[in-house]
Amino acid sequence: MKVYISATLRSFFGRNAELSVAASDIKGILDKITTEYPDSHKIVFDENGELRSFIKIFVAGEDKTDKSNWSEALGENEEVLLLPAIAGGVSRESIIPDERRKAVSFDDAEVERFENHLLLREIGVKGQKRIKAARVLVAGAGALGSPVIQYLAAAGVGTIKVVDFDDVEISNIQNQVIHTSRDVKRPKVASAKDTVRNINRSIVFEAENTKLDAQNILEIIDGYDLVIDCTDNYVARYIISDACVVCGIPLVFGAIYQYEGRVGVFNYNGGPCLRCAFPSPPPAGLVPTCAEGGAISPLPGIIGSIQANEALKLIIGIGEILDGKLLVIDSLNLRSHLVNVHKDANCAVCASNENEIQIEEIDYEEFCGVKETEDEIPIEGFTPEELAKRIDSDDPVTIVDVREPHERAILRFPNVIVIPIGQLARRKNELNPEIDTVFICKEGKRSILAINTLREAGYSGPMYNLKGGTDAMKNIIFSNEGGWL
């Protein structure tokens, strides 16, 4: 049996690139080569005798790292590859064509501005020209978009297009560092444009104050070298990923929640797409967004900086890319994990012929579970004013709060029953079916899930959703309390 040894491991195997081993399965091979080369045992196995996490074993191109595969009989001519899961610093192709790079020039001011890049051997003049020639689209000018946009501008990316439809709110300032207090109530793309102009006025900044949907996505991303996903909802994420597959554009993915963040590169060099990693999103409202669940303010800076770093590596053509990998960072416990994402041969999007995919025909709201179907009973709701009036009038109404404890501590709600969504089905007897029940959460999304959960459990009493959630109640004053809710 022929065993190929990766260059990074050869010093532990007598500097051999290939070994001939008389064994019929993977376990036999590992036993023999580590016995013949004792120094290799501590590299291949940990102190508990388990294969180290950075070692991968392939047979005929198939991943056989899992121990359950080690006793399978191997064919006589099959080659076994012993490879590290993570290899560093390899040269790769830039996503920027040479013709565009050669068409770019620098003036003296730019040479001085980008001196720190020009001094790096891996970047130099050619790499910096690629950066200047690059056209990058950033979807979202919020928490993740803030560091991404600023670092791309500082690096000298020639054209940056930012797509966002929101206005700046005072609560954004905590972790959306591209905006300031003076930008409150302004469109985020306008605020971002001003910040970029203060960093580098020579950059072409394209502000798109619009919401991405299946009808406009292809036109919006067409002609760009790279898309960076800095959005905060599943509908936008799947629209962006699918469109990148159709247009053949690499996607740098980022996500945050409370203290955890994730970064990955999808649709690059034939690699997996977002649907390969997550074929479908969780039910709407089940997993709170970062807007609902919060995020520590430096976390988007950490994750967004890594996204910008991945983007620049793709543009320049250097380093190890998070292609087919997902970097998970736990900022609370200072831990990180690098997991492999395999291309799904049955993926509904990237395994198909991209010419056959019709983005505008996919109902992303239905796919992500945020659209009512015709056979669903419509969910009725109260506006904040209507609910406040009922409370002030002492009308009989049961209010069920499905928020997390830390959310309730920030904004209290009077006279409620606290029931987490996961407990609703078994605690439905605590509700009076003769009285209207109103469900509340932060934004009015999880409360919809709560109503649907009780319907599935057979509860037949009248149920209502607080439209806009407690966020919409912030300016309501109850007469019997004489203060803010």
Q: Which of 276, 290, 350, 368 is catalytic?
A: 290
Pick from 293, 232, 295, 296: which is nearest to 446 by CA?
A: 293
Q: For this structure, is 350 an active site residue?
A: no
Question: What is the number of alpha carbons within 13 Å of residue 39 lying toward its C-beta?
Answer: 7
Rounded Cα gap, residues 38 and 22, in angstroms: 18
Calpha distance 420→145 (Å, rounded): 32
CA–centroid distance for 55 within its chain: 26
User: Which of 268, 264, 275 shows the shortest CA–CA distance to 307?
Assistant: 264
How many angstroms separate the CA atoms of 260 and 245, rounded?
27
Question: Active-site residue among 244, 276, 368, 441?
Answer: 441
Strand 477-478 and strand 483-484: the pairing is antiparallel
Tell me, yes or no, if 441 is annotated catalytic. Answer: yes
Rounded CA-CA distance 441/448 in Å is 9
**How far is Cα 155 from Cα 168, in angstroms, rounded to an integer?**
25
Question: Count of CB atoms within 10 A of residue 124's CB?
Answer: 13
438 phi and psi angles, rounded to 5 deg? -110, 130
- The position carrying tokens 């993740």 is 144
Check: CB of residue 290 under 8 Å from CB of residue 360. no
CB 276 within 8 Å of CB 325:
no
Q: Dihedral through CA 391, CA 397, CA 398, CA 404, nearest 10? A: -40
Q: Is 103 exposed, middle or buried (0-12, 13-18, 19+ CB in 10 A)?
A: exposed
246: Cβ–Cβ under 8 A, 6 or more apart, which residues? Answer: 218, 354, 357, 359
Would you name the residues annotated as active-site residues?
290, 441
